[in-house]
Structure 1
Amino acid sequence: MNGVFIFNKPKGVTSHDVIYMFRKKLNIKKVGHTGTLDPIATGVLPICIGKATKIAQYITAEDKEYIATMKFGIETDTLDITGNITRSDGRIPLSKEVVESLVAFKGEIYQKPPMYSAIKVNGRKLYEYARDGIEVDVKERLVKISDISLLEKVSTDTFIIKINCSSGTYIRSLIRDIGYSLNTFATMTDLVRTRSGNFNIDNSIDEIILKTSAVDDLEKSLIPIDAALNDFEAFEFPDEFYFRALNGVPFKTQADIKENKLLRLYCRNEFIAIGEYKTTEEFSGIKIKKLLIGD
């Protein structure tokens, strides 16, 4: 079995727990996920099966969409409601003020990741430092917020927002910074990832389906590897280059393709590899990035 499942992760389980669920159900060792979701979060977690684990890095890099709930007036050590309250403020912004503040976060912004995150500094994950009470200088990172809007005011201090953002964006940090921009504090109380790249929550399977369905029925929801990469342009190359490609050897072509563009490479009616078009003074052609045929 090779391909990608769109899984709707339930609250309270880790992304690694989901890997175990799929390994147990499918009796397959090669299982991986793309883009970790915290236990508090639910929603789209693409699960790569078999040879699809080779493309995880390409799926992880895709943009994401989230529905997040934020509560004003408090900040926690984890930046979500599961943590300990570290600061509080009685000021609660009006809906109009929240809407106006969100405008400043649209586009490319720098954000400081949460201390409770898996980012490594000097070989250790940040949450390990945090648990040991060690302060670490966390560098800001450039992320992109394509769109952000207020969906609903749930109560006096609680609002729901929708975010379209680049991979690597921390919604907990974003909510913290929204609070700062309004001269108060804010923490995340709920998070749903509704889309990861082209994988939409409407097309997902949930824990009940995973556990109760027969494997043959589950396989009907499996997305083929090349279909999971449908943002990449398809390129059919001549049969004469078949064995060069299988050995990872670049081959020349004068195809009308943008340089550095990632491609889905086909030959003999097979999806062979992910390739990249390169042009230099000595070479114009395709280099193999990830071979997806064979063992």
Structure 2
Amino acid sequence: MDGVLNIYKPEGITSFDVVKSIRKITGEKKVGHAGTLDPMASGILPVCLGKGTKIIEYIMENHKVYVAKLKLGIITDTYDREGKSLEEKPIDCINKKKIEETIKSFVGVIEQVPPMYSALKVNGKRLYELARKGIEIERTARQINIDSIDILEIEIPYIKFKVQCSKGTYIRSLCYDIGKSLGVGATMWELERVENGPFKKENSQPLSNINPENIKEFCISIEEALNKYPKLSVKGETVKLLRNGVQVKNKYLIGDIPLNKMYRIYDEESFMGIGIRTVDGLKISKLLF
């Protein structure tokens, strides 16, 4: 079985628990998820099967949409409600206007420091492994993009908001940074991922709904999962060269294909894989079929 399942992960289990369940249901050895959700979080978790595991990196590039709730006045070591409380601060100075202005200031390209409790590796060690031993190390800030933040509800000390963001964004860190900017601290209280590129909550399937009889019905083709990339058909000598890993530079063969774009490349009508057109030519980045 080759493709992608749009699974809705419930709270209380890990993303790998979902992978194990799907592996057991399908009997497929090659199964992987495209973007970890913490156990306390719920929402969209694309699960790739068979050859679908080859496109995990492309799904990971998708922008995401989350609905989150934070609590003001408390800071924990994990930046979420499951962590150890480190500090509590009074929030009498906080009002709705100040909250709105502060949150709006995070829209755009910003620098974000990943939390210690994350799966990022530093010198071969995952940060959460060090954190569990009580070791905190300096983390390099990374550039991320917050496309938009919509405040859904303010009931101090709680703030509920919807955020669209680039890959690599930690909503826990965003909550922490909002609290820091307000001067009272904040901790993520709830999190739901409602979109991951073309994978949306409304067309997802709860893990509990998936069984051996219906799983094929819910499996999205690799081609469909990559439909954010425009279709590009090639033929003849170009097909042979691309399949052999050659970068095609001949302008007669590649014509005026726009530069610096990724494409779904087809041998006439048969899907081959993902390719990129640069100033150096056209080349297959990932041959899938």
**TM-score, structure 1 as length reference:** 0.93
Q: Match for residue 89 of structure 1? A: 89
Q: Match for residue 223 of structure 1? A: 220
**CA displacement 1:249-282 (0-9 Å, x = unmatched):** 33343333222211101114211111111323xx
Does 1:20 pair with 2:47? no
The DSSP-based 3-state class of the residue aligned with 2:46 is strand
Q: Match for residue 236 of structure 2? A: 239
C-alpha displacement of 1:207: 1.7
Distance 1:22 1:152 in 2: 36
Does 1:6 pair with 2:2? no
Q: Match for residue 270 of structure 1? A: 270
Q: Which moved more, 1:250-259 or 1:94-103?
A: 250-259
**CA displacement 1:108-148 (0-9 Å, x = unmatched):** 01111111011111111111111111221111111110001
Contact 1:65 1:165 in 2 (8 A): yes
Distance 2:8 2:111 in 1: 29
C-alpha displacement of 1:242: 3.0
Contact 1:117 1:125 in 2 (8 A): yes
Contact 1:64 1:193 in 2 (8 A): yes
Contact 1:239 1:268 in 2 (8 A): no
Does 1:147 pair with 2:148? yes
Q: What one-letter code is carried by the residue in structure 1 that aligns with 2:38?
A: D
**CA displacement 1:60-85 (0-9 Å, x = unmatched):** 01100000010011000000000010
C-alpha displacement of 1:218: 2.1
C-alpha displacement of 1:221: 1.7
Q: Match for residue 283 of structure 2? A: 287
Distance 2:239 2:7 in 1: 35
Q: Match for residue 260 of structure 1? A: 260
Distance 2:42 2:83 in 1: 18
Q: Which runs of 5+ in 1 are unaligned?
A: none
Q: What one-letter code is carried by the residue in structure 2 that aligns with 1:149?
A: D
**TM-score, structure 2 as length reference:** 0.95
Q: Match for residue 129 of structure 1? A: 130
Distance 2:283 2:3 in 1: 23
Query: Aligned residue pairs: how many?
Result: 285
C-alpha displacement of 1:227: 1.1
Contact 2:26 2:212 in 1 (8 A): no
**CA displacement 1:14-67 (0-9 Å, x = unmatched):** 111111011000110111111111111100011111111111101101100000
C-alpha displacement of 1:102: 1.0
Q: Which runs of 5+ in 2 are unaligned?
A: none
- What is the CA RMSD across the aligned residues, in angstroms? 1.3
Distance 1:35 1:256 in 2: 35
